[in-house]
Amino acid sequence: MSLQGLSVSQAALLAVNPNTVSFSQVVTGSNPGGVTASFITLNQGVGNLAISNYAGSTASETGPWTTLSGTNTTSGPFTLSGLPTSIAGDTQVTVNVNFNPATDGNYALFLQINSNDGIKVVDILGAAGGYPKALLQFQTDDGLAWVNYSDTTPFTFGSVVEQHTRYLSMRLSNIAPFSAGILDITVSKPPIGVGLIRAVNGVNLGEGTEIPAGTNQTASLFCSVPKTQVNTDPYNSTAQWTMNTGDPTSNKTFIQFTYQAVSEQQDPLYLNGSTIYWYI
């Protein structure tokens, strides 16, 4: 026989969830009204929870403390609204935190909640910087160097011989200063499933990818040329990857890829390696 039970505190029981509210790499001035997050103040007991006051510190979880007044209060770039003065048993209250920095920097507010069930501290952290900056590059056909993206010149796999596959990587970097915001990929439509140029998967550099300042991520693409008759003319083909990032200086990008498929060339040959006698 299995027995189970739930114990309930007859007194008030203060809890917060989560105990850390973080604003990561907010772009300064990009949101006129700031960015808002929240945490929940809970009374997990039966008795009434009375909150005597709130205090704030910009130094640490141990103070020094400055008393905050009102149910809505501002400390530096942080504005808190909906701070409760009491919470009935087995209920909760959501407190909103707005982060609206005027200048770049790292900010902190340690919120101390003083109640008839003791003290809890909520860490509120924010980082603000400039806009992200995207740099899109593709490996050269020998895989030894990188070429910057140009909307007038497609990325190339070079000449690929029939029945061969060449793998090359595309790299997206956020080259903004370390205090800048995160580069978000909001649109990403890689070439998958069709054509001779394809992305290995749709995950790498996919939609929702976040690239912090000073870092990069890559995706692998391949060009696989099928067998053709010997001594036939080379031919070119293309593929496209559509992408949009959080870089305000660039719009939706239609990344073009190209290659030259080369058939096997049988003797006799010209000095450039092409055959003298073509297949008919």
Nearest to residue 162, comparing CAs of 228, 208, 68?
A: 228
Q: What is the pLDDT of residue 180?
A: 86
Asked whether this chain's domains 14-129 and 134-262 adopt the same fold, the reply is: yes
Q: What is the pLDDT of residue 232?
A: 84
208 burial (CB, 10 Å; 0-12 / 13-18 / 19+) is exposed
Q: What is the pLDDT of residue 191?
A: 94
Amino acid at 67: T
Task: Report whether CATH 1.10.357.10 matches the domain 134-262.
Answer: no
Contacts of residue 256, defined as CB under 8 A and 6 or more positions apart, other chains included, come to 154, 155, 238, 239, 240
Q: Where are the domains of the chain?
A: 14-129, 134-262
pTM: predicted TM-score of the whole model, two decimal places: 0.67
Regions of the chain where pLDDT drops below 50? none
Query: What gap in Å lies between CA 84 and CA 244, rounded to an integer?
Result: 42
Task: Evaluate whether 173 touches 185 at the Cβ level (below 8 Å).
Answer: no
Q: What is the pLDDT of residue 42?
A: 96
Q: What is the pLDDT of residue 185?
A: 95
Task: Evaluate whether 115 touches 14 at the Cβ level (below 8 Å).
Answer: yes
In angstroms, the Cα distances linking 13 to 53, 60, 69, 82, 86 are 16, 24, 23, 19, 12
In CATH terms, 14-129 corresponds, of 2.60.40.10, 3.30.310.50, 1.10.645.10, 3.40.50.1360, to 2.60.40.10
Q: Name residue 199's beta-bridge partners.
A: 221
Q: What is the pLDDT of residue 269?
A: 83
DSSP states of 211-230 as a string? E-TT-EEEEEEEEEPPP--T
Q: Name residue 241's beta-bridge partners.
A: 255
Query: What gap in Å lies between CA 256 and CA 72, rounded to an integer?
Result: 52
